[in-house]
Structure 1
Amino acid sequence: MRATAYAEQAVVRRACLRISVITGAVITLLVTVVGGVAHAVMTHTQDDQVRRELRYGAERGDLSRPPVCTWLYASGATPLANSPAGFPVRADLDRVRRTRETVERTVRRDGTVYLVRTQVRADGDVVQAVFDMRFQLADRRHLWFALGVAGAVGLVAAAATGAVLGRRAVAPLAEALARQRRFVADASHELRTPITQVYTRAQLLSRQAAAEDLPARHRDGLARLVGSVGRLDRVLDDLLLSASFSADPRRRTERRPVELVEVARSVVAEESDRTRDGSLTVVVNGPPHPLYVEGIESALRRAIGELLGNAIGHTPAGGTIEVSLARVGGAVELTVVDTGSGFDPAEAERLFERFHRGAGGGRYGLGLALLREVVTDHGGTVAATGHPDGGARFTIRLPESAPAAVPVRTGPL
């Protein structure tokens, strides 16, 4: 149960982090939008005010006492002592004297921006007004600094709020999932013993019925009962394995190199009774050298058994099932090909949904969904291809692993 609690806490932490990040991103976006709008409004307002003051200074300003932040230049007038270097702009003065048309320009100099307006006054004099925008630019920088501080504070507050809200919002869901997994595991464990007893008793009755030559309808009924109980037992195995993979992350530490060819041959041998009863031919094609993958042998055995059992269940009497293993580009591929009823290629992905029912009415149960879960947990992939007219191919691809190291004896022989 500790492993389950650890897994659920990890889910809650990830969900809280995700909610905090999303909340922070939304707050940052809002602050950025508000800052952009405020900056645009401030810039527009300041530009209008500066241009009005610049126009007033050029038209009516006293050359010896210009408005604040403004300097006026004209023929015969002495510039103020604090006039910025590089002014007046002689080219604009000459142009206005020649064309009598007003000229405006922006000059960037000495770390600030100057607006320059050169025009002809009503008395015929050519005057050039220069406005220093350093204070307006400082206001804009202060605005962005204030917005940045507000955004940082808002981001921290949003992250903290998101974490608290996320924990409160996700914790009930995590608890519900934990209870669901515990229920599945507990129910499966509790049902295991009575189902095993029923299965064993049904097999004994079936053998006795065959030995005592009971009517065929009784023998058939007992055979169906044995098959149904056997399928129920396999469903319990699937539920237990799925619950263990979902709730126990420490199972990853149990992984070791598994020789997949040997496991595949062992699984085929275990299913020999079913294939013989179904008059099926099963062929295993593997390389002469071993193929290792990193994983949990019991889970991989269950996955291969599911593929083989699925092929047996969908292949009519007299059919052939081929199990092939090969090394392909640094990975190990296990392919199961059958001559069964096949399926529509459009349903290839849906086959791995839990208890999917095919177009022909065939059910695929929990096994293929668990198969994908096991393969994905081992860092691999599984794919299915088929044809409606018959035949299916399932391919598992797992990362290849180095063989297990053989311990070296260092003591006396």
Structure 2
Amino acid sequence: MRRARRRIAVITGVMITLLVTAVGGVADLVMRHAQSEQMWRELRHNAAHGDLSSPPVCTRLYAPGATPHADLPAGFPVRADLERVRRTGEAVERTVRRDRTVYLVRTQARADGNVVQAVFDMRFQLADRTHMWFALGVAEVAGLLIAAVTGAVLGRLAVSPLAEALARQRRFVTDASHELRTPVTHVYTRAQMLSRQAAAGELPAAHREGLARLVDSAGRLGEVLDDLLLSAALAAGPARPAERRPVDLVALARSVVAGESDRTRDGRLTVTVDSPPHPLFVDGIESALRRAVGELLSNAISHTPAGGRIQVTLLRRGGGAELTVTDTGPGFDPAETERLFERFHRGGHGGRYGLGLALLREVVTHHGGTVVAAGRPGRGARFAIRLPECSPAPAAAPARRVRAGRG
């Protein structure tokens, strides 16, 4: 929601900036054209009829034999133009840039045969253009301030209904997940008890397979509810400082691998953990990080065929902690890399990823980290989590013994 509001404010500011710039550009073109037409018109008239002894303001007139004005700019008259007009009889016009200003120069022969050169100083017109652009700059700054306020108001008004709808959706997901968790837990527990009774021979053998499927389905439903609750908690905002603490990523990863030992043994998979001898601490919520690492390992187990290998590697890199899970499964098309993290994405090899990888990215991003995936069809997959490293929690100070003295 905050990004949407900022985007609306930025778009509004850019539009106002472009509008003011466009207006300034059009005004500058119109002013330049109007000034140019007027100045050349006056210059031609003064060159043909102006009084040599009393020229108009901003105009200097020079003619051979006439006394030049004391304030005639340096470098004038342009003698090459005088010689050319005497030789050809045709008028010559040019623009001269000198002394931080611009001069319009026209040299022509008058009706009486005298050759006259008129010089127009544009310094006042140039100053008008500078003042116009300064005014436009002030208007631009004021426009940007107005755009920021307008964008913030528009963003809030435009995004508020969507934010309210999302908040209601999150509350519904959280409430529904909480309400469903208890009955699902009861179903799962009851199904486990019936499955044990069936295994002990207390129930007919025909029900054993159905009970096993019921236990598996209830367990998966519980995992989905946990994922929904965690996703809603992450979307609600950053965790409170009291909920975060330094977590040893090495110990957590080894614990997760040990917890999946039954699945890896049943699937005849070889899982190895390569980690440094020292801890790697990251700041975060241990339950959420455990869920993320568990999802990576569970995903690798689900997609690795019997007899395959899974490698879990932990190391320190660039001031952060990196956990990598590599498997020898079917891999995936590199073009699907980003889509793997979409909810309930189904890969090209029929692999379904559900909420897990999408939730994994939410957890890692919530902890200020990144997750990347790499793989090729038939060559396995590699998922890497990178998290900022932190210092271990300070050890609690030992209690000091106080010996009571005699009064």
* Common fold by TM > 0.5: yes
348, 363, 370: which is aligned to 2:359?
A: 370
Within the candidate set 9, 19, 28, 2:17 is matched to 28
Name the counterpart of 1:330: 319
Q: Is the 8 A contact 1:257 1:402 kept in 2?
A: yes
Classify the secondary structure of the residue corresponding to 1:144.
helix
1:283 aligns with 2:261: no
Q: RMSD of the alignment, in Å?
A: 2.7
**Cα displacement (A) at 1:108:** 5.0
Deviations 1:232-273 (A, max 9, x none): 101111111111111131346633221111111211222233
Partner residue in 2 for 1:349: 338
Q: Is the 8 A contact 1:106 1:114 kept in 2?
A: yes
Partners of 1:87 and 1:344 in 2: CA distance: 75
**Residue 77 (structure 2) aligns with:** 89
Does 2:233 match 1:239? no
Q: What corresponds to 2:200 in structure 1?
A: 211
Residue type matched to 1:117 in 2? R
Three-state SS of the structure 1 residue aligned to 2:38 is: helix
Q: Give me the TM-score of the superposition, normalised by structure 1.
A: 0.87
Task: Find the aligned partners of 2:241 and 2:336 in 1 and give their Cα distance.
Answer: 32
Equivalent residues in 2 for 1:52-201, closer than 5 Å = 52-79=41-68, 83-86=71-74, 88-89=76-77, 91-92=79-80, 95-96=83-84, 99-100=87-88, 102-107=91-96, 112-201=101-190
1:345/1:19 CA distance change after superposition, 3 Å: closer
Q: 1:90 and 1:276 mapped to 2: Cα distance?
A: 99
Is 2:384 the partner of 1:391?
Answer: no
Determine if contact 1:92/1:103 at 8 Å carries over to the other structure: no
Secondary structure of the residue aligned to 1:234 is helix
Aligned partner (choices 379, 388, 400) of residue 411 of structure 1: 400
46-55 or 337-346, larger mean C-alpha shift: 337-346
Instruction: From the superposition, tell whether residues 197 and 44 of structure 1 become closer, same or farther in structure 2 (CA, over 3 Å).
Output: same
Aligned partner of residue 226 in structure 2, secondary structure: helix
> Quick one: structure 1 residues 60 and 244, their matched pair in 2 at CA, closer, same or farther if it must change by over 3 Å?
same
- Over 3 Å counting, the alpha-carbon distance change for 1:28 and 1:211 in structure 2 is same
TM-score, normalization by structure 2 = 0.88
Post-superposition shift, 1:182?
1.0
| Aligned 1:220-239 pairs, distance under 5 A | 220-239=209-228
Tell me which moved more, 374-383 or 168-177.
Answer: 374-383
CA distance in 1, matches of 2:227, 2:218: 14
Determine the C-alpha separation between the residues in 2 that align with 1:80 and 1:360: 92
Shift of 1:80: 5.8
> In the TM superposition, what is the alpha-carbon distance from 1:67 to its structure 2 partner?
4.0
**1:331, 1:398 within 8 Å by CA — same for their partners in 2?**
yes
More deviation, 14-23/170-179 = 14-23
Shift of 1:362: 2.4
Where structure 1 has 5 or more consecutive residues not aligned to the other structure, the ranges are 1-10
Amino acid aligned to 1:91:
R
Aligned length: 401
- The question of 1:260 aligning with 2:249 is answered yes
| 1:275-314 to 2 correspondences below 5 Å | 275-314=264-303
Query: Once structures 1 and 2 are overlaid, which stretch shifts more, 322-331 or 218-227?
Result: 322-331
Percent identical? 71
**Which structure carries more relative contact order (alpha carbon 8 Å, separation 6+)?**
1
SS at match of 1:358: coil
CA deviation after TM superposition for structure 1 residue 221, in Å = 0.4
Amino acid at match of 2:120: F
Q: Structure 1 stretch 182-191 or stretch 125-134: which is displaced more?
A: 125-134
Q: Which moved more, 1:400-409 or 1:104-113?
A: 104-113
- Does 2:348 match 1:359? yes
**Cα shift at 1:87:** 7.5
Q: Which runs of 5+ in 2 are unaligned?
A: 403-407
CA distance in 2, matches of 1:102, 1:380: 75
